[in-house]
């Protein structure tokens, strides 16, 4: 989540750097932007690793997820429209009232669908032998990673298919890859990350002569590019093999990470945060950009984490106990529908 917040500082900050000048500040902003899709990939790998052996969908978790999304979406449309910075418009209002359906958060909508599909993906995984599983992963890697990297084509892929691929990859690791040492993976991830950053700097330098090259300097940090996939995978494997033990501090922040995303990436909060409050772009030529950006990223992360902790302990704590009977009731209703004559005779 720290990587994702840093990414948003860079890409939503309104920075404008010319291709005719090579500067440390430009390279720093590119560095901040480079980790966003790595963070997304790692998040999905972690989810797939734990979900791939689950028995089915937890309605309680699904309802909790939806309620947290809905809470922040409605809260911020009310605040920004009610307090005056934004005028009431129909399209943003509908997106805020139906944030998952209308992709108010692209990641959340994609992840929500992935979670709904997870029992069927798990069933599919169980039908595959290890050899067929390997062949499937090789095929998907070629189509949705190698072709986008070397031929610059999505090849009938999108964020949902990519998430399914990462889920399958994590499932294979869970089933067939044994634990090992952590630090070789982390060293490899760091080395590859450094190489990708050097390639970015090289594109900036070449871009002084050929501006088109500079415009695509961060090409290898896109979500489906090979370097990003390898760095994400190596980081995941490294931390998976670590023996950290129990840490209440890690668990405390881990519980807030989704809320951090929902707060700072809200459609109303995003421009207000980066362009009005912190005025990122105004520091583009400043000698203070690097320390300023680090301070802002830490502040946004911890501030949003505190807000999410307040929601968890002052709001969700009290309605959480009611979710279990609601989930049971919804399960009973769905079972009655599937057992009904209408479903069996006509569907």
> Residue 171's pLDDT is what?
97
Which residue range is the domain that position 124 belongs to? 2-346
> Residue 108's pLDDT is what?
95
What is the pTM for the complete model shown?
Answer: 0.93
Q: How far apart are the C-alpha atoms of 135 and 67, rounded to whole Å?
A: 39
Q: Residue 109 in contact with residue 100, Cβ under 8 Å? A: yes
Extract the tokens encoding 156. 């009938």
Q: Around Cβ 306, how many Cβ atoms within 10 Å?
A: 13
Q: How far apart are the C-alpha atoms of 266 and 271, rounded to whole Å?
A: 9
Quick: pLDDT tens for 31-56. Answer: 999 999 999 999 999 999 999 998 88
Domain count, the chain: 1
Cα angle: 123, vertex 166, 131; to 5 degrees = 60
Q: Which residue has the tokens 């595959």?
A: 128
Residues 6+ apart with CB under 8 A from 347: none
- What are the distances in angstroms from CA 85 to CA 28, 75, 117, 268, 270? 31, 14, 39, 9, 13
Quick: pLDDT tens for 234-286. Answer: 999 999 999 888 888 889 999 999 999 999 999 999 999 999 999 999 999 99
DSSP character for 315? I
Q: How far apart are the C-alpha atoms of 186 and 235, rounded to whole Å?
A: 6
């Amino acid at each position: 989540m720290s990587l994702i917040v840093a990414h948003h500082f860079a890409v939503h900050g309104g920075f404008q750097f010319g291709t005719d000048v090579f500067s440390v500040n430009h390279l720093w902003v590119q560095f901040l932007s480079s980790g966003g899709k790595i963070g997304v990939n790692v998040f999905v790998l972690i989810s797939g690793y734990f979900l791939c052996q689950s028995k089915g969908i937890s309605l309680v978790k699904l309802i909790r997820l939806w309620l947290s999304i809905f809470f922040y979406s409605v809260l911020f449309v009310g605040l920004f429209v009610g307090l005056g910075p934004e005028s009431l418009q129909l399209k943003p209002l509908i997106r805020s009232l139906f944030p998952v359906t209308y992709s108010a958060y692209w990641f959340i909508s994609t992840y929500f669908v992935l979670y709904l599909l997870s029992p069927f993906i798990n069933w599919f995984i169980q039908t595959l032998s290890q050899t067929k599983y390997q062949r499937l992963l090789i095929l998907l890697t070629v189509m949705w990673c190698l072709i986008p990297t070397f031929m610059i084509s999505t090849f009938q892929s999108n964020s949902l298919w990519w998430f399914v691929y990462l889920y399958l990859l994590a499932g294979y690791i869970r089933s067939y890859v044994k634990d090992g040492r952590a630090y070789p993976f982390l060293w490899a991830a760091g080395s590859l990350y450094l190489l990708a950053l050097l390639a970015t700097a090289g594109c900036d330098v070449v871009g002084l002569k050929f501006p088109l090259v500079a415009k695509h300097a961060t090409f290898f940090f896109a979500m489906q590019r090979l370097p990003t996939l390898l760095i994400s995978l190596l980081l995941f494997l490294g931390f998976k093999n670590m023996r950290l033990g129990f840490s209440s501090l890690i668990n405390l922040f881990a519980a807030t990470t989704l809320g951090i995303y929902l707060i700072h990436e809200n459609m109303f909060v995003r421009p207000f945060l980066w362009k009005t409050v912190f005025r990122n772009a105004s520091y583009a030529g400043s000698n203070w950009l690097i320390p300023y950006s680090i301070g802002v990223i830490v502040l946004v992360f911890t501030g949003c984490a505190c807000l999410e902790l307040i929601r968890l302990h002052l709001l969700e704590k009290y309605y959480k106990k009611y979710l279990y009977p609601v989930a049971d009731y919804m399960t009973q209703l769905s079972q009655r529908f599937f057992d009904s004559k209408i479903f069996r005779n006509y569907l």
